[in-house]
Amino acid sequence: MTVAVIADIVASRRLEDRAGAQRSIVDAVAIVHRDLPVATAPLSPVVGDELQGEYDTLADALASLLLLRLALPDDVDCRFGVGVGEVRPIELADRTVPEGPAWWAAREAVDHIERLQQRAAPLARTWIVLAEGQDATMTETIALARAYALSRDQLVSAMSERSRRLTYGRCLGRSQRELAETEGVSQSAVSQALTAAGSAALVEGFTALTAGVRS
């Protein structure tokens, strides 16, 4: 089983500097992979405003995507389609093309989250789809993952850039004192910002996702 991810830049046509936005995403992906190297194929640009990547587990993918959203600057955001299933890459003369049920599911997921943003959940950014032919016992896991992703997207989407930076640091285990020194503010200001943003829930969720990786 592979977890395939398609990332798409939100409102890319309205960005004044699309090339700059893509560079910001690539830089953020590199930082996340340095801090949490769980991607078997880190997200990388493929065509237009799209990036693709692969992970071994759903927990790895969700943990990495959380850090990525926290690492992005205010003027850049992505939506993520996550597909769980089999990958059957096609070998061409000069390259390998990602293919298979996991990728079809990821495409379905990114299309679904875009529609969801336009209707019931404007701040939603992540959707997960189980590919056809997978173990039916995973259906409940996928449902729980979707609910978790929607809830955390709501929190992250409402955060300021500083709150995201602070939450990122807390996910990696940095103390409030360390973060205060980095930001040039008081520890009390960091504590207040984290509390107001609801960061504690995100940090606990991240810890649960990465328990096996970081133990």
Per-residue model confidence as pLDDT tens digits over 65-87: 999 999 999 888 999 999 999 88
Among 107, 126, 14, 108, residue whose Cα is nearest residue 66:
126
b/e map 198-211, b = 16+ CB within 10 Å: bbeebbebbeebbe
φ/ψ (deg, to 5) at 211: -55, -45
Same domain, 139 and 163: no
Same domain, 67 and 79: yes
Same domain, 116 and 152: yes
Same domain, 146 and 171: no
pLDDT more than 70, % of the chain: 92
pLDDT at residue 66, as a whole number: 98
Q: Each residue of 134-152: pLDDT tens digit?
A: 777 889 999 999 999 999 9
SS3 10: coil
What pTM does this model have?
0.92
Same domain, 33 and 61: yes
Same domain, 101 and 71: yes
Residues of the domain holding 215: 159-215
Among 72, 92, 88, residue whose Cα is nearest residue 80:
72
pLDDT more than 90, % of the chain: 72
pLDDT at residue 33, as a whole number: 97
Same domain, 23 and 113: yes
Q: Which of 158, 183, 202 is the last residue of a domain?
A: 158
Same domain, 97 and 192: no
Phi-psi region of 48 (alpha: psi -120 to 50; beta: other; left: phi over 0): left
pLDDT confidence band for 11 (50 / 70 / 90):
confident
Same domain, 81 and 108: yes
Rounded to an integer, what distance in angstroms lies between the CA atom of residue 39 and that of residue 122?
A: 28
Same domain, 65 and 10: yes
Least confident of 46-50, 76-80, 110-114, 154-158: 46-50
Same domain, 34 and 75: yes
Same domain, 29 and 77: yes
Q: Which of 158, 173, 198 is the last residue of a domain?
A: 158
Query: Considering its fold, how many domains does the chain have in total?
Result: 2
CB count in 10 Å sphere of residue 92: 8
- Residue 111 sits in a domain of what CATH number? 3.30.70.270
